Amino acid sequence: GQQVMQIPQYQHVQEGEDFTTYCNSSTTLSNIQWYKQRPGGHPVFLIQLVKSGEVKKQKRLTFQFGEAKKNSSLHITATQTTDVGTYFCAVNSGYSTLTFGKGTMLLVSP
């Protein structure tokens, strides 16, 4: 099935700093999804990217899908303590099934 590498594994920032996590695949992806999991919570869907070169924004979050559809990024501008959690990318690995990246844990210090 599809495999996706996600980096960094962990990042600790000061509140107000920016944050970016990256997902990379060796093969072309049909689409990519992003999820956020707060500490002690369950994953919550953020967005799905489908088109080559697609860029979507949700307030301070910017999601990009590479031109070759092999990589994606999630960028948070001016992080806040509410952004704390683990961010996962996920790709289709079969009929209606998703494979998740290892996730990037974000810690934000006030």
Partner 1 sequence: SAVISQKPSRDICQRGTSLTIQCQVDSQVTMMFWYRQQPGQSLTLIATANQGSEATYESGFVIDKFPISRPNLTFSTLTVSNMSPEDSSIYLCSVGDRATGELFFGEGSRLTVL
The structure tokens listed for 11 are 């990042």
Among 8, 16, 44, 55, binds partner 1 (CB under 8 A): 44
Q: How far is the CB of 47 from partner 1 (least distance, A)?
A: 9
Using the contact rule CB under 8 A, the part of the chain among 11-19, 20-28, 44-52, 65-73 near partner 1 is: 44-52
Calpha distance 95→98 (Å, rounded): 9
Q: How far is the CB of 4 from partner 1 (least distance, A)?
A: 10
By the rule CB under 8 A, 56 interacts with partner 1: no
Q: How many CB atoms lie within 10 A of CB 104?
A: 22
Nearest to 87 by CA among 51, 26, 33, 50: 33
Calpha distance 76→34 (Å, rounded): 13
Site residues (vs partner 1, CB under 8 A):
31, 33, 35, 41-45, 48, 88, 90, 92-93, 96-103
